[in-house]
Every structure is written in structure tokens, then in C-alpha cells.
A and B are shown apart, each in its own frame.
Chain A
């Protein structure tokens, strides 16, 4: 049963990802990315990581896709269909497949003794986040603040700067 669900979700994940890199229309690529990201949330559910599935749907499905669609709409002009891929795409495909050829055998050779998938409780994650990972957590909030201020400063128009 878990296998069937995993296979279906994996097909959606990889299909959406292929849609992102193959589609010639940028908006279609963004929607394919949405499919892929929601399917990744399903993978997290197969792994019993409910909190991460929730975060994935909220942040990726909600926030990041919207921001990307904003970027597409604000930079929209007639050149989009023309500029899908560059001339080096066969080389890129060869490089990507070569990297896959390194990754898959390394996973097979270095096979790890694993237990069955276990459920991480919300409280356990919260406790760990605010004890062991408290300092990275605070730094992450600082990173978000810096990124926010930086984005505002970079994106505002020149007339407002005086």
C-alpha cells in the first residue's frame, strides 16, 4: 500500500519537475512547479513527517509560488516564448545525466542500514527546535529580516531614493 502511494506521488513529483524544465511557457512552468512541490509534501507524508508536509504546502505552495508568479507577471513581455532554452542544452543534459550516474551508484554502494520510517511528533520537533537548534533558529529569523530589507532596497525605484 505504501509502495503504491509512493509510486503515484513520485510520478507526480518527477512529472511536475520535468514540466518545469521542458515547458516553453513560463506560467505553465510555474504551475508544473506547484504540482511538483505539493507532491513533495505527499512524499513527506509517506515519510510520516506531518509538520514538514504542512510547512511545505504553506510556504512553497502558498508563498513561493505566488512570489514566482509575481516575478513572471511583473517582468512579462513578448520575449518569453522565444527564450526558453539556450544553445548549450545538449551539454546541460549530458552533464545532468553524468551527475545522476554518479549519484545513483553512490547511493547503491553506500547503502545504509535503516530502520522502518518513524513518526516525528510535533512536540518533539518543537522541543528540539527551541533547545538544540535555538541558535540557528534565531539566526534564521535574522536572515529573513536581512533578506526582507535587502529585497525592499533593491526593488524600489530610483525616484524614491532622494
Chain B
């Protein structure tokens, strides 16, 4: 049986890879993909805790899995909105390079 801590390590590594992607990539689409990786890391953590700690202390009814369902819902909404914003950005500036989107830069 795989211990909870290994799932936590996996989710930590996945989150860090997503963080690197958000910080280092220039294309808006790639940054949205990296955000998806980070959200998935959080979901792995929640679901691992939900299955390993069912009935321990105040944890009950697999609440972690339900929170993960809501995270997936919000991620779907976020990707839809991100597509709309990227399309509008591309139409106005004809680029998706976030280094050139500096209209509101201080």
C-alpha cells in the first residue's frame, strides 16, 4: 500500500513544475496550461488525503473528493474565460506574448 506522504511528494513536484511554467513561459496559452498543472497537484493532494484519512479525526464522507470536484468545475470555467481573454488579446495586439502586453504596466 502506498503511503500518503508519497502522494504528497508527487503533488509537490507537480505543483513546482507548474510554478516554474507560470514564471518562465511567455505564451499566455502555456501559462494557462501550467496553471492547470498546479490545480491538478492540489487535487491529488486533496484526494490522497480524502482516501487515506477517511474516518480519522474530523475527516468524514470524503469531503476532499467533493472539494476536488469543485476545483475541477472552477478550472473548467477558468479555461473558458482564459480562452476568451487570449482571443481578445490576440485580436487587439496580434500577439499572445505576455512580455508585450504592457499597456497596464506600472
- Nearest A residue to B3 via CB reads A114
Size range of the chain A interface in the assembly: 35 or more
27 residue pairs bridging A and B, Cβ less than 8 Å apart: A14-B13, A17-B37, A20-B21, A20-B30, A30-B33, A36-B40, A40-B40, A48-B51, A52-B47, A55-B69, A59-B72, A64-B75, A71-B32, A75-B86, A75-B90, A79-B95, A86-B24, A86-B99, A92-B24, A97-B16, A104-B9, A112-B53, A120-B65, A125-B66, A133-B63, A144-B77, A147-B77
Expressed in whole angstroms, the minimum distance between the Cβ of A48 and any Cβ of chain B is 6
Q: Is the CB of B68 within 8 A of A52?
A: yes
Establish whether residues A114 and B53, one from each chain, have CB atoms under 8 Å apart when the complex forms. yes
Q: Which residues of A contact B (CB under 8 A)?
A: 2-3, 6, 10, 13-14, 17-18, 20-21, 26, 29-30, 33, 36-37, 40, 43-44, 46-49, 51-52, 55-56, 59-60, 63-64, 67-68, 70-72, 74-75, 77, 79-80, 83-86, 88-89, 91-93, 95-97, 99-100, 103-104, 107-108, 111-120, 124-125, 128-129, 132-133, 136, 140, 143-144, 146-148, 150-152, 154-155, 157
Given contacts A52-B65, A147-B81, 5 further A-B contacts (CB under 8 A): A30-B33, A80-B27, A112-B53, A118-B51, A129-B66
Alpha-carbon distance between A93 and B27 when the two chains are bound, in angstroms = 17
